Amino acid sequence: MPSRPRSLDSSIGTKLLVGFTGFLLFLYLILHIGGNVMVFLGPDTFNGYSDLLLSNPLIIPIEIGLVMIFLVHIYKTVAMTLDNRRARPVKYARKKSAGAPSRKSVASSTMIVSGLWLLLFIVIHVRTFKFGPEYETASGVRDLYRLEMENFSDPITVVFYLISMLVVGSHLWHGASSALQSLGIDSQTWTPRILLSGKVAAVLIAGGFIVITVWAFSQGART
Ligand code: HEM
């Protein structure tokens, strides 16, 4: 009997890891948008909240964990894509939706492209905010509000963020169903509900960040 290719044997573990790390990153984004909407409450509340968060001694281990999760997610998805390409070196002549019950869609076929865009976005984003200028408020805490307003007063940054937020939305939109499939969850009752929640969360997260970006730009335009 012919033996199964090695890539097929390891692909289940890989998919589980991709699904699990993707789910953790999704949870991070829910917390991240939750914290960032504080910007609407003004500089004192926003800076006070971020100072409370950043001065927590658990922040360093959490950040290290986040980086590890990112690296595993990226490494495993790229390896999985290359493996799939090797297994099917000739591309399909036409790419189109496979129709129900398959969840193949424009987003699913572009996961690797949207993922790589997000990698570029995160490098630029973390450099801009985390490692950006260390402005201080009169009370001696980091003035992230000023940094955010300054960055979003630049139309090129705003356009880059708006495109990236649409890419985040697309990635999360499909990511939820992709993770469910990878984790083997297929319940008649729960699958549609989880899928719907994933899609609603994708729209709320991307939409929330878009509103913040446009609002911050409009604040800059007013001064
Ligand atoms: C309008 C959109 C966004 C705004 C205004 C925003 C704002 C911020 C700010 C102010 C920080 C600095 C916090 C610190 O000093 O640690 C930060 C960090 C970060 N952001 Fe965002 N963010 C946005 C979207 C995103 C998105 C879409 C992602 C992921 C896809 C993301 C991932 C991260 C990561 C990984 C960090 C570093 C966290 C850490 O090391 O503590 N952000 N963001």
Token pair 């998805």 is found at 77
Q: What is the pLDDT of residues 46-71, one digit of tens each?
A: 999 999 998 999 999 999 999 999 99
- Give the predicted TM-score (pTM) of the model: 0.86
Ligand 1 and 148: CB distance under 6 A: yes
Ligand 1 close to Cβ of residue 117 (< 6 A): no
Q: Is 178 in the pocket of ligand 1 (CB under 6 A)?
A: no
Rg (CA), the chain: 20
Pocket test for ligand 1, best of 116, 130, 160 (most atoms within 8 A of CB): 130
> What structural domains does the chain harbor?
6-88+109-222 (1.20.1300.10)
**2-37 pLDDT, tens digit each:** 444 454 446 777 888 888 899 999 999 999 999 999
Hey, which of 126, 141, 150, 173 would you mutate to test ligand 1's pocket, going by the most ligand atoms within 8 Å of its Cβ?
A: 126
